[in-house]
Amino acid sequence: MTHPESKLHAARAPLYEALKRHAEQNWIPFHVPGHKQRAVWNDDDADARFRPMLPIDLTELSDTDDLHQPEGVIAEAEKLAAECFGADETCLLVGGSTAGNLAMILAVCQPGDLVLVQRNSHKSVIHGLMLAGARAVFLAPELETASGLAVAPSVQTVRAGLERYPEAKALLITNPNYYGLSSELSAIVDCAHDRGVPVLVDEAHGAHFGRHGEFPASALQAGADIVVQSAHKMLASLTMGALLHMQGRLIDRSAVRQMLRMVQSSSPSYPIMASLDLARRQLHTEKERMFENALRTAGYVREQLATMPIRAVAPRPPVGLDPLKLTLYDETGAWDGYRLRDELEKRGCMAEMADYRHVVLAFGPGTVPEDGYALVRALNDIAERLQPAGRADERFSPSPSRPEPVAADCVSEPVAFSRRPMETEKIPLEEAADRLAGEWIIPYPPGIPLLYPGERITQETIAELRKWQKRGAKFQGAEDATLSAIRVRTVSCGEKEPHMER
């Protein structure tokens, strides 16, 4: 039941307040978790670090509500979140955007159903397709002209996919990308809705979108039907705190909630949920003010880059830019993104991610001006040590990079996904062209698969893998971390290599 004094008011954080009330009553706990809201590790350092949070690390009790059947303070927190973000309905997530991506795919797909999917999607999207037993038609992303980075597919590509596959159950888009580049989604959503196709958006890196005049519009504002956001990435919730928003009549909201019950823990973290409640309250009440420090700090760093050989990615319209993401590269061609990341770490600045050209830095509500001063000092010191590479074979090309493969045909043939493992064999990578991949190859971060099981390997893909490997990328899914060999689908004697399943 909702607390008698509670009202649906932006300044409330009902779940956090309920946990606080519970802790203040000093209950004698005969329920899980086993630490009983006390530090019990007999380690002074560990006990001191965790002790402040333990009193609110609770379970489903008479006064704390139930995430999977919310009727009290969690239901109130979710209604406030929906009001704050402009959704018809919002669900709290304790498994990150991954849980939301899995749930929305499972909710719209029966085994064998077809979904249109942006090619450079997160691995959790592919996992969702596998769990659903769905078929995917991959839509090639557009390449932003200034940076060469892949963004959402064009409206023309989406239209071509919808016309070729009118049976599609949904269109799944990722926006913004990891680098902070954002496409205009309104026309894409309208194109799908004209055909009665719901639009699902993985907006993991855009929970703050539409909340300040300097930010791009959000996917909800563009009319998307289901939107998943990682509140822990760019807002102020604990890690794994995320949100799933729903609106419109093209989706079955009860099916989405049922899938969330399946993919999320039956013992969700109350500290994570309470932090989502607090992050929402901050956004709801402070509005644009909560981003001013981060925007000023990021703006200051961009101004200082004007005199350095280190540059920030600046996309050309219509592609937008998240001003809280700073994607840097060395225009001299001397250092790649991994080297820049390592040099920043030597100077006390920890970046979000790196690829073989860029290093990505994220600013947020917790950013303070001193962070910007320290970063500029580090970048100035790095810039003084940069010497353009002499020989061509030593030079890292400053031309636009493309870390996500883009198919020549913007609309792929359907690819069938299954949870069942395929028979595979290991062969040298250089001999793998025109074979079907038998394992995942995922540079992490950013977590965008370069290859997924069942995808045809091309010479271009092999060249991309070699670039990532040469620059020191870390891979998930690859049995051979050196990428000298790769697993491919086994071909029986006399059998021809199969094409992608239609």
Q: 308: domain CATH number?
A: 3.90.1150.10
Whether 301 and 373 share a structural domain:
yes
Whether 381 and 448 share a structural domain:
no
Task: Please indicate, yes or no, if residue 484 is contained in any of the structural domains.
Answer: yes
Q: Which of 468, 470, 467, 480 is nearest to 443 (CA)?
A: 468
Whether 299 and 354 share a structural domain:
yes
Hey, how many other C-beta atoms are within 10 angstroms of the C-beta on 114? Answer: 19
Consecutive sets of 10 residues in the chain, 502 residues long: mean pLDDT of each? 58 97 97 95 95 97 97 98 98 98 97 95 93 95 91 96 98 97 97 98 98 97 98 98 98 98 97 98 97 98 96 96 98 91 98 93 98 98 79 44 52 86 89 90 73 85 84 80 90 48 34
Whether 375 and 425 share a structural domain:
no
Number of independent structural domains in the chain = 2
Ranges of H-type helices in 26-122: 44-50, 73-85, 96-108
Whether 389 and 344 share a structural domain:
yes
CA distances from 331 to 191, 295, 443 (A): 39, 24, 23
Whether 377 and 294 share a structural domain:
yes
Residue pair 438/489 in contact (Cβ under 8 Å)? The answer is yes
Task: Please indicate, yes or no, if residue 5 is contained in any of the structural domains.
Answer: no
Tell me how far apart the alpha carbons of residues 480 and 483 are, in angstroms, rounded to a whole number: 5
Domain boundary residue, one of 394, 409, 443: 394
List beta partners, residue 245. 90, 227
User: Under DSSP, is residue 224 helix (H, G, I), strand (E, B) or coil?
Assistant: coil
E-only strand ranges, 353-411: 353-354, 359-362
Q: Write down the pLDDT at residue 397.
A: 47
Task: Please indicate, yes or no, if residue 113 is contained in any of the structural domains.
Answer: no
Task: Please indicate, yes or no, if residue 336 is contained in any of the structural domains.
Answer: yes
Q: Write down the pLDDT at residue 469.
A: 79
Q: Write down the pLDDT at residue 360.
A: 97
Q: Write down the pLDDT at residue 445.
A: 63
Whether 382 and 460 share a structural domain:
no
Q: Write down the pLDDT at residue 393.
A: 45
Hey, how many other C-beta atoms are within 10 angstroms of the C-beta on 153? Answer: 29
Task: Please indicate, yes or no, if residue 447 is contained in any of the structural domains.
Answer: yes
Place of tokens 């989706």: 251
DSSP 411: B
Residue pair 322/182 in contact (Cβ under 8 Å)? The answer is yes
Whether 429 and 484 share a structural domain:
yes
Task: Please indicate, yes or no, if residue 96 is contained in any of the structural domains.
Answer: no
User: Under DSSP, is residue 426 helix (H, G, I), strand (E, B) or coil?
Assistant: strand
Domain boundary residue, one of 344, 359, 394: 394
Q: Write down the pLDDT at residue 443.
A: 76
Whether 388 and 309 share a structural domain:
yes
Task: Please indicate, yes or no, if residue 402 is contained in any of the structural domains.
Answer: no
Residue pair 320/216 in contact (Cβ under 8 Å)? The answer is yes
For residue 426, the domain's CATH number is 3.90.100.10
Residue 460 burial (10 A CB sphere; 0-12, 13-18, 19+): middle
Tell me how far apart the alpha carbons of residues 104 and 224 are, in angstroms, rounded to a whole number: 12
Domain boundary residue, one of 394, 412, 429: 394
pTM higher than 0.75? yes
Q: CA dihedral in degrees (408, 414, 415, 419; nearest 10)?
A: 150
Tell me how far apart the alpha carbons of residues 379 and 311 are, in angstroms, rounded to a whole number: 10
Query: Concatenated DSSP letters for 225-294?
Result: SEEEE-HHHHSSSPTT-EEEEE-SSSS-HHHHHHHHHHHS-SS--HHHHHHHHHHHHHHHHHGGGGGHHH
Task: Please indicate, yes or no, if residue 448 is contained in any of the structural domains.
Answer: yes
Range of the domain at 388: 290-394
Q: Write down the pLDDT at residue 492.
A: 52
Q: Write down the pLDDT at residue 7.
A: 60
